[in-house]
Amino acid sequence: MAKLDAQTVVTEQAFDYEVDRFADLQILRYQVPGFERLPLKRKLLLYHLSEAALAGRDILFDQHGFYNLLLRRLLEAIYIYYIGDRQSASFRALETYLKRVWFASGIHHHYAEDKFVPEFSAEYLKSCVMSLDPKQIPLHDRMSAGELLDLIVPILFDSKVMPKRTDQSGDRDHVQHSSVNFYGSGLSETEVNRFYEQLKTADDETPVSFGLNSRLVKENGSLKEIVWKTDGMYSAAIVRIVEELKEAESYADDEDQKNVIAQLASFYQSGDLDAFDQYSISWVKDTASKDDFVNGFIETYSDPLGRKGSWESTVYYVDEEATKRTRLIASEAQWFEDHSPVDPSFRKSQVKGISARAITMVMLGGDCYPATPIGINLPNSEWIRRDYGSKSVTIENITEAYDKASAGNGFMEEFIGSDKERDLLKRYGYITDNLHTDLHECLGHGSGQLLPGVQQDALGAYGSTLEEARADLFGLYYLADFKMLQLGLLPDAEAYKAGYYKYMMNGLLTQLVRIEKGKDLEEAHMRNRQLIARWVYEKGLKDEVVVIVRKEGKSFVVINDYEALRRLFGALLGEVQRIKSEGDYEAGKNLVEKYGTIVDKALRDEMAERYESLHLAPYKGFVNPRMELKKNAKDEIVDVTLDYTEGYTEQMLRYSRDYSFLPTINS
């Protein structure tokens, strides 16, 4: 990595990756190498795209829960204006709770989905609220402080009120048991599914993603969508997003990118999902631009039915050197597809439009902030993937920040059972992590095909887990292929074993630390990892392909036969692809429920105890660099700079001050 110059405040040697720690979270910084050397036009493009990435922040809070903006703003008011004892245990607990709300964009854990349990009392909250000037309290013009407390105290303190953000457990009504704000009160899962099934046309080969950008409500006994657009729901925030997109247009890399930005702005104004598909096609086809972004209602993980898109944004530019690796993989996409261990009828005869790049992240927003993916593959529409391909990115500066921040934290010594395996991960762990991400995003998500007549949403609530499993398995299977050596992507034939060991250790053991005591798995990515690890563990148990051994009272993963493990990965990939290609809901459900859901409680407790002994945080997230316009004496913009000194609390309060465009209650 090149050194950063003086105007970026810090040097690489002095860069402090850790910003804050609280609860089960560690907050990190990431560097943006090379930004200072970009031409001013590109910096201004990235600046306005970044402003658009921050303008939608309130949308995600509201999507995650009807009262989230109210609760965030009330807690912020207490934090800013409270004049009592700010060193007391209760105030510190309230501060930690607020930090968790910021991180999760709401009152439910960002991964586990359960509602946070306050470590301060309802009486303490009441005393804080009553001590404020009434004008400092949200909704003071609509209700008294007492009435407000009557409303919010049960939401925060009653475990039976809004207990889970997204509930996908068991055979229950997932709409009525989830707290997300995608559906109005009184709606049932059956009603929602019936509404959207009636919109489909059986022979439509290019269907829109029905329901992606709307809230579904019942009015006078009839169901209707309230669309998220400039003159609809979330209008104030979307108007600001569009304003920044229009500013960015004038700085676009080329005419193709200018058209992409204009089409996205047009979609936001109309809310028309056909327009979103046309924008998505143009975005996929624009592979020349050095700077790029994601902005919109994209991933559907937070919707218990997998329909509604959470608002997210990322802004980035191409890492030319690292992209040589991803372009090489993408150039061989047809070979990988042709040699995939799945039934030939489920493979694509012609792989189209695979665009793969390694990128440098500049700004994270919405559902990608503070917790962020390390790779992205879009669009999600199956027919656009089929006809036009997809764009994939691996986020180099984020993975590097994770790697640098974890150096010397004691994890390897505690959780890896032998020096041989520790050495394996030290030598090859970083490169195999990135390569698996490349294979997952660049090829895994873009591989395979649905059989004629199979709907994209045929797997329902299990679709997200199975799709992530499919992409992970594709990456795992090919990570060990001789093709990796032939292409020069791995240094030797032993390297892939680091990726296999780390994946199995995480899927069987270490990710369990993220689960609250007594709970089972519900988040799609965690279910996916355990599904894979537990399935191959069980299928290889007779031959002891992978075992869990006990040494000095501690559990460790041991892989005895890496080649057999690869064959098992291939067999499971074949089954998961069959399930998706055929739309086999029952088989998909059985696979997820049997292998991906139930937590080994003893192993979970052991992992938690061992993590605690090392003072490690199970989850990590990031603060963004602060972008600043520099002007000369004539008030002309002469530069855009990055400041890495802003703390977590300072950034969150600034964002709440500068990017709060929505009303406290959106109805």
Predicted pLDDT at 1: 30
Mean pLDDT of 161-177: 92
> Please, which pLDDT band fits residue 171 given cuts at 50, 70 and 90?
confident
Element housing 427 (H / E): helix 419-438
Kindly tell me the burial class for residue 359, based on how many C-beta atoms sit within 10 Å of its own C-beta (0-12, 13-18, 19 or more).
buried
Predicted pLDDT at 76: 98
| pLDDT tens, position by position, 542-554 | 999 999 999 999 9
> Encoding tokens for residue 435?
């390569």
Q: Running DSSP on this structure, what letter comes out for residue 115?
A: B
C-alpha 355/C-alpha 390 separation (Å) is 6
> Please, which pLDDT band fits residue 14 given cuts at 50, 70 and 90?
low
Q: In terms of Cα–Cα distance, which of 322, 295, 293 is closest to 34? A: 322
> Encoding tokens for residue 467?
């799709």
Predicted pLDDT at 437: 93
CB atoms near residue 79 (< 10 Å) = 18
Judge whether 267 and 275 are in contact, CB under 8 Å. yes
| pLDDT tens, position by position, 58-81 | 999 999 999 999 999 999 999 999
Mean pLDDT of 466-481: 97
CB-based contacts of 550-556 (< 8 A; 24+ apart in sequence): 551/417, 554/606, 554/610, 555/509, 555/603, 555/606, 556/415, 556/416, 556/417, 556/509
* 279, pLDDT greater than 70: yes
Judge whether 236 and 661 are in contact, CB under 8 Å. yes
Kindly tell me the burial class for residue 223, based on how many C-beta atoms sit within 10 Å of its own C-beta (0-12, 13-18, 19 or more).
middle
Predicted pLDDT at 667: 66
Predicted pLDDT at 202: 82
Neighbour order of strands in the sheet with 25-29: 18-22, 25-29, 619-623
Judge whether 575 and 466 are in contact, CB under 8 Å. no
| Percent of the chain scoring above 90 in pLDDT | 90
C-alpha 229/C-alpha 238 separation (Å) is 6
- Write out 352-387 in H/E/C secondary structure: CCEEEEEEEEEEEEECCCCCCCCEEEECCCHHHHHH
Helix, strand, coil tally for the chain in percent (to 5): 50, 15, 35
pTM for the model: 0.88
| pLDDT tens, position by position, 105-159 | 999 999 889 999 999 999 999 999 999 999 999 999 999 999 999 999 999 999 9
Predicted pLDDT at 170: 79
* 5, pLDDT greater than 60: no
Predicted pLDDT at 523: 87
By residue count, the chain amounts to 667
> Encoding tokens for residue 285?
């086809």
State CA 282 to chain mean position distance: 23
Secondary structure class of 268 (helix, strand, coil): helix
| pLDDT tens, position by position, 592-636 | 999 999 999 999 999 999 999 999 999 999 999 999 999 999 999
- Write out 156-214 in H/E/C secondary structure: HHCCCCCCECCCCCCCCCCCCCCCCCCECCCCCHHHHHHHHHCCCCCCCCCCCCCCCCE
C-alpha 248/C-alpha 258 separation (Å) is 8
| Percent of the chain scoring above 70 in pLDDT | 98
Max Cα-Cα span within the chain: 77
Q: Who's near 492: CB < 8 A, 6+ residues apart? A: 485
Mean pLDDT of 323-345: 95
Among 92-106, 373-387, 475-489, 581-595, name the one with the lowest average pLDDT. Answer: 373-387
Predicted pLDDT at 10: 34
CB atoms near residue 117 (< 10 Å) = 10
Q: Who's near 209: CB < 8 A, 6+ residues apart? A: 273, 276, 277, 307, 309, 380, 381, 456
* 12, pLDDT greater than 80: no
Omega cis (within 30) before 379 = yes
C-alpha 317/C-alpha 32 separation (Å) is 10
Q: Who's near 173: CB < 8 A, 6+ residues apart? A: 188, 189, 190
Q: In DSSP terms, which residues pair with 371 in a beta bridge?
A: none
Domains of the chain: which residue ranges? 6-161+645-658, 319-619
> Please, which pLDDT band fits residue 187 given cuts at 50, 70 and 90?
very high
* 353, pLDDT greater than 90: no
Predicted pLDDT at 518: 87
Secondary structure class of 559 (helix, strand, coil): strand
| pLDDT tens, position by position, 423-464 | 999 999 999 999 999 999 989 998 999 999 998 889 988 999
C-alpha 580/C-alpha 595 separation (Å) is 17
Terminal CA-CA length for the chain:
48
Mean of pLDDT over the chain: 94
Name the residue with tokens 């990055």: 642
C-alpha 617/C-alpha 130 separation (Å) is 35
Secondary structure class of 112 (helix, strand, coil): coil
Predicted pLDDT at 632: 97
Q: Which is more confident, 178 or 352?
A: 178
Among 406-415, 503-512, 571-580, name the one with the lowest average pLDDT. Answer: 406-415
* 7, pLDDT greater than 80: no
* 3, pLDDT greater than 70: no
**Measured between alpha carbons, how far is residue 404 from residues 16, 327, 361, 428 in Å?**
10, 25, 16, 15
